[in-house]
Structure 1
Amino acid sequence: MSAHFNYKHFVSGVAGGVTSTCILHPLDLIKIRFSVNDGLAVRPQYSSMWDLTKSVWKKNGFQGLYSGVIPNIIGSGMSWGLYFFFYNALKSKLTRKDPTQPPTVAQYLACGVASGSLTLLCTNPIWIAKTRLCLQYEAHGATYKGMLNAITDLYKQNGIRGLYKGFAPGLLGTSHGAVQFLVYEKLKLWNAKRKNVSAEAKMATFDVIAMSAVSKLIAASSTYPYQVIRSRLQEQHRTYRGLRHVISSTWRNEGWKGFYKGLGANLLRVIPACCITFYTYEMMMYYLPASYI
């Protein structure tokens, strides 16, 4: 196997994504429901994220907060695993002439965009299923029996095109991962230099948490609008003609604030999720034996 393709990255990424999703899925559900809450479509309306949480809990309890968790676990695990795998493979290939020399900023960003695009191509149908399962409102009854039912129903209605709704804004969202990994990698190199150790050395828990939190905060805040656009394109309760329609409709009806609906819940979820994911990833990369791959 080529040195560029280290499967430890995939296994470690899957473990990190699954762990964080199992713990924090309810915040993802709250973020999705609040981000599509445009006040126009026929769906429950919520005055705040706390009001949304109480409503879900009152009607379905703990189980209601985990609607759509299966595709989220599968999607998150696969996404992180594939992203870490593709990213490190591309980065290794770019630096093969001199592995001691870190990539340039442009190379980091290119690796992030390419990795995000390849990952999205593999996982977009799973994310649509997750979005639609999270948007099965209690009062409306269940439309889908599960992830596979949602995917097959989408395929029957719209073919392959139906499985890739929201793919265009998702591609724009690859900038999120590119920014996050650029910041994280730069902080990781800075931390290693500060401590006079190898960048591959085991990192302290606080260092991993602090660096992953900072990188996620910067990336999430700067690229959040695409997630709102993507969620609205993928939901089943309102039909948009395309990317331009959802952008113009959101701007006309809600102004710039509409593009940041659910940001608070998103940050509450993604920052801890990123810390858990990256800590799990770093520890597994350190402890997994080479013979495992």
Structure 2
Amino acid sequence: MSDNVAHALAGAGGGMISMAVTYPLITVNTRLQVQRKKDSTSYTGNMDAIRKILSAEGIAGLFSGLESALFGAAVTNGVYYYFFEAVKAAFERASKRKNMSTVESMVSGAVAGAMTCIITNPIWVVNTRLTVKQKNTAEKEEETPTTVQAFAEIIKEDGVLALWQGIIPALILVINPIIQYTAFEQLKNRVERFRKLGSLDFFVLGAISKLAATSITYPYILLKSRMQLKQSKNEGERYDSLVDGLRKVVAQEGVAGLYKGIESKLLQSVLTASFLFMSKEALFSYAVKLLILLGARRSLASAK
């Protein structure tokens, strides 16, 4: 068996670790993204959102939808790394070079990103709806739906296709990991010319690459979150397409509306990518050992 599965397992584990560490920032960012009207309960910024969530919902409010997010992070990163490493290996076999070119990195990222979007979009539709669902701590009788219940509710009320709401901006956002992983691979290749990389190097390179990717693609990230919500019957609040969404956000909230909540998103994205790259590299060797123990992969000694 090739290293694709080991990379997928390591990526899944790294994704869950990074998601758990940064999830409160995801909650704050998502709620700011989908917020359109201003009233006494509206969030005026990141710190105000944290204060109001803690006041109304307690610590648990910052972790709304964590169950689906951890599952989504594991599947997303597992699928992404599997296809990325598979395409990468194909390029390396064809060119007989160890390191990919910039174009090859971009193609690998595009293929992996597109496959990941199509497979995991239903998970993130559910997670977005669970994350923005607010619950008052005084309302003890109101039970937060589980991930499975939320899936069933969406299918019952909106149909199966609703699980792929926001797929167009999600596919456009394939450019995000393309930028991220291309920048990461090229920076890694440059540093490796001089020395062997350590955990801190992967942390820093992951942060730099994700910062660039998120800054460029943020308006599409915001639109994806809004389109994944249950769409309003009100014409002014419903987004019929990506272009329609862009037009309505700018008309109703100004250009600044396209960057609502970007501060928490940048911090969360950078930390997530940093922890992901660092933990994924650390987990890879354990994933290989696990596959060897399961008999799904030969050891290097027996392969020689």
TM-score between both structures, scaled by the size of structure 1: 0.91
- State the 1:112 CA deviation: 0.7
- Match of 1:182? 182
Residue aligning to 1:71? 68
Q: Are 2:180 and 2:209, in contact at CA under 8 Å, matched by a contact in 1?
A: yes
Q: Give the equivalent residue in structure 2 for 1:280.
A: 279
Of all paired residues, the percent bearing the same amino acid is: 26
After TM superposition, the structure 1 stretch with the greater mean CA deviation from structure 2, 67-76 or 142-151, is: 142-151
In the aligned structure 2, how far is the partner of 1:166 from the partner of 1:280?
30
CA contact (8 A) 1:16 1:278 kept: yes
> Are 2:46 and 1:49 equivalent residues in the alignment?
yes
In the alignment, the residues of structure 1 paired with residue 57 and residue 134 of structure 2 have an alpha-carbon distance, to the nearest angstrom, of 10
Counterpart position of 1:247? 246
* Range moving further from structure 2, 57-66 or 151-160: 151-160
Change (3 A) 1:143 1:109: farther
Query: What's the secondary structure of 2:99's corresponding residue?
Result: coil
| One-letter code aligned to 2:198 | A
CA distance in 1, matches of 2:134, 2:203: 35
Aligned residue for 1:21?
A: 19
C-alpha distance in 1 between matches for 2:135 and 2:153? 20
Letter paired with 1:244: V
Please state whether the residue corresponding to 1:169 is helix, strand or coil: helix
Mapping of 1:115-154 within 5 angstroms? 115-139=112-136, 145-154=145-154
The one-letter code sitting in structure 1 at the alignment partner of 2:30 is I
CA–CA distance in structure 2, aligned partners of residues 285 and 137 of structure 1? 38
Asked whether the 8 Å contact 2:57–2:134 carries over to 1, the reply is: no
1:9 corresponds in structure 2 to 7
One-letter code of the match for 1:234? Q
Is the deviation greater in 252-261 or in 43-52?
43-52
- Equivalent residue number for residue 165 of structure 1: 165
CA distance in 2, matches of 1:182, 1:244: 27
What TM-score does the superposition give when structure 2 sets the normalisation length?
0.87
**Contact 2:30/2:131, CA 8 A, preserved across alignment:** yes
- Out of 76, 79, 88, the residue aligned to residue 85 of structure 2 is 88
Q: Which moved more, 1:222-231 or 1:156-165?
A: 156-165
Deviations 1:150-200 (A, max 9, x none): 1112112332311100000000000000110000000111111022x5xxx
Q: CA deviation at 1:17?
A: 0.6
Q: Compare 223-232 and 279-288 and name the one that shifted more.
A: 279-288
Q: Which deviates more, 227-236 or 151-160?
A: 151-160
Distance in 2, Cα, partners of 1:82 & 1:27:
24
**Corresponding residue to 1:232 among 217, 221, 226:** 226
Shift of 1:65: 0.8
Contact 2:223 2:242 (C-alpha < 8 Å) held by counterparts: yes
**Deviating 4+ runs (over 4 angstroms):** 139-144
Q: Which amino acid aligns with 2:29?
A: K
For structure 2, the 5+ residue unaligned runs are: 233-237, 298-304
Q: 1:144 and 1:285 mapped to 2: Cα distance?
A: 36
Is the 8 Å Cα contact of residues 36 and 231 (structure 1) preserved in structure 2?
Answer: yes
Conserved in 1, the CA contact under 8 Å of 2:102 and 2:186? no
2:207 corresponds to 1:213: yes
Distance 1:144 1:163, change over 3 A: farther
Contact between 2:92 and 2:99, CA under 8 Å: does it hold in 1? yes
